[in-house]
């Protein structure tokens, strides 16, 4: 792969890219695809920890429903290769402004590259309730998103562990997939009258007391155990996972954050443009409810806008030189 084949201006050096995309999940790869097809020199750097890696299947992505997540990403990388987009299995450790409106990017593997624009597509980490068995079963029979997994476990006995009051809403929601739902109040001490009324109307059984752990047999969840020792047979469990966005690079760049009900996320325009000129953020880095199809769409929008901005920047600088 030579850089000249993908650079319409023919002005590349071995370490100079139009765009460095940090993160090679759906959001980052999609940005890379649009930029590659726009004849941009692109480096996608991916540390290889996509959020849905524990799940066997990716659901709800039209035309790819049920595809294993790793296969989806491998297919994406194959598509990018057709446009000479470079994908590096590495981690970006720093993005520093170069003083001229562009960026110096440092990779953990020792490379240092220059980029005119940056896409932050670093995703997030789900912080799970600290209960024995939960991390091991995550994405298998311990779940958070009924749109991702509800169909596959429909009509089974569901448990919902409420670490916060959002668990109550989750219990109400999942009654769409099973009529046998038990809500474990766990650390939630009080419910409002409205909560009790809605839970009763939805047919949700409510169990008070802290959960101590899960019962597993033959590599399957079979029950939820309370601190008092009582076991409730359940085969699918929904938990409140706390989303922890990977915002280190954006914070170091000084990107403005906005408060959301689940904590601060970068303030971005509809194309993903952050408050830092030249830096875009897309995918789960911009919010926890972003599904794969949204992440891919956001990457596309950012890629197209970055290309347009670069086209105009180059035209304007030529115009300025001619004056
Ligand atoms: C268990 C589970 C199941 C799910 N199932 C579904 C489903 O069925 N359907 C659906 O639509 N959604 C599902 N989701 C949500 C889905 O995971 C996200 O929508 C999707 O991963 C968001 O894509 P992304 O590109 O923003 O982030 P990610 O896919 O998380 O990709 C981010 C990438 O950036 C990399 N990265 C982070 N920091 C750096 C750095 N400094 N340098 C280089 N690389 C870095 C990470 O290693 C990672 O590979 C599920 C989530 C979970 C937790």
What's the pLDDT score for residue 190?
87
Strands 142-143 and 236-239: parallel
Q: Which residues line ligand 1 at a C-beta cut-off of 6 Å?
A: 22-28, 45-52, 54-55, 58-61, 91-92, 121-123, 126, 139, 145, 148, 246, 283-284, 290-293, 295
Cβ-contact 88, 44 below 8 angstroms: yes
Model confidence at 116, pLDDT cuts 50, 70, 90, reads: very high
Q: Where are the beta strands (DSSP E) in 6-73?
A: 16-22, 42-46
Q: Which pLDDT value is given to residue 14?
A: 57
Site of tokens 């003083």: 99
Q: Of all atoms in ligand 1, which is nearest to the CA of residue 126?
A: 53
Long-range contacts of 70-74 (CB under 8 A, 24+ apart): 72/26, 72/292, 73/24, 73/25, 73/26, 73/29
- Nearest-Å Rg of the Cα atoms of the chain is 23
Instruction: Provide the β-strand partners of residue 161.
Output: 184, 239
- Given a cut of 90, whether residue 123 has pLDDT beyond it is yes
Nearest CA to ligand 1 atom 6: 148
Protein residue closest via CA to atom 35 of ligand 1? 23
Q: In the prediction, which pLDDT does 312 show?
A: 97
Alpha-carbon distance values, 196 to 91, 167, 168 (Å): 47, 13, 10
Model pLDDT, residue 8: 46
The domain 3-126+242-322 belongs to what CATH superfamily?
A: FAD/NAD(P)-binding domain (3.50.50.60)
Residue-level length of the chain: 323
Q: What is the pLDDT of residues 51-104, one digit of tens each?
A: 999 999 999 999 999 999 999 999 999 999 999 999 999 999 999 999 999 999
Give 71 Cα–ligand 1 centroid separation in angstroms.
14
pLDDT of residue 318: 87
Atom of ligand 1 nearest to the CA of 285: 26
Specify the pLDDT at position 280. 98
pLDDT, one tens digit per residue, over 246-267 is: 999 999 999 999 999 889 999 9
Distance in Å, CA 293 to ligand 1 centroid: 11
Over residues 152-166, mean pLDDT? 92
Residue 10 pLDDT > 50, yes or no?
no
Residue boundaries of the structural domains of the chain: 3-126+242-322, 129-239
For the CA of 298, the closest atom of ligand 1 is: 26
- State the SS3 of 80-124: HHCCCCEEEECCEEEEEECCCCCEEEEECCCCEEEEEEEEECCCE
Class level of CATH domain 129-239: alpha beta
Average per-residue pLDDT for the chain: 94
Distance 124 CA to ligand 1 centre (A): 7
Is 70 exceeded by the pLDDT of residue 314? yes
Other residues' Cβ atoms within 10 Å of the Cβ of residue 148:
18
Which pLDDT score, from 0 to 100, does residue 232 have? 98
Q: Do domains 3-126+242-322 and 129-239 have the same CATH topology?
A: yes
């Amino acid at each position: 792969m030579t850089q000249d084949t993908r650079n319409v201006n023919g002005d590349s050096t071995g370490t100079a890219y139009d765009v460095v995309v940090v993160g090679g999940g759906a959001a980052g790869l999609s940005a890379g695809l649009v930029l590659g097809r726009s004849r941009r020199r692109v480096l996608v750097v991916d540390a290889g920890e996509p959020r849905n890696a524990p799940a066997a299947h990716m659901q709800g992505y039209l035309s790819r429903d049920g595809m294993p997540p790793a296969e989806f990403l491998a297919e994406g990388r194959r598509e990018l290769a057709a446009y000479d987009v470079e994908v590096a299995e590495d981690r970006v450790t720093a993005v520093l402004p170069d003083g001229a409106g562009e960026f110096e990017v440092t990779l953990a593997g020792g490379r240092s590259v220059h980029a005119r624009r940056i896409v932050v597509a670093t995703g997030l980490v789900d912080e799970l309730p600290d209960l024995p068995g939960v991390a091991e079963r995550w994405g298998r029979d311990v779940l958070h998103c009924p749109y991702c997994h509800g169909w596959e476990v429909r009509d089974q006995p569901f448990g919902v562990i409420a670490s916060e009051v959002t668990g109550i809403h989750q219990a109400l929601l999942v009654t769409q997939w099973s009529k046998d739902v038990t809500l474990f109040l766990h650390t939630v001490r009080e419910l409002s009258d409205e909560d009790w009324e809605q839970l009763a109307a939805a047919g949700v059984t409510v169990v008070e007391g802290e959960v101590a752990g899960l019962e597993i047999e033959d590599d399957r969840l079979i029950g939820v155990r309370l601190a008092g020792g009582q076991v409730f047979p359940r085969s699918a469990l929904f938990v409140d996972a706390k989303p922890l966005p990977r915002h280190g690079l954006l914070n170091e760049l000084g990107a403005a954050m906005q408060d959301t009900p689940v904590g601060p996320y970068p303030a971005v325009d509809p194309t993903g443009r952050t408050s830092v000129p030249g830096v875009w953020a897309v995918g789960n880095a911009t919010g926890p409810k972003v599904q794969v199809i949204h992440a891919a769409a956001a990457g596309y929008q950012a890629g197209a806008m970055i290309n347009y901005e670069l086209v105009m920047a180059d035209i304007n600088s030529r115009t300025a030189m001619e004056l």
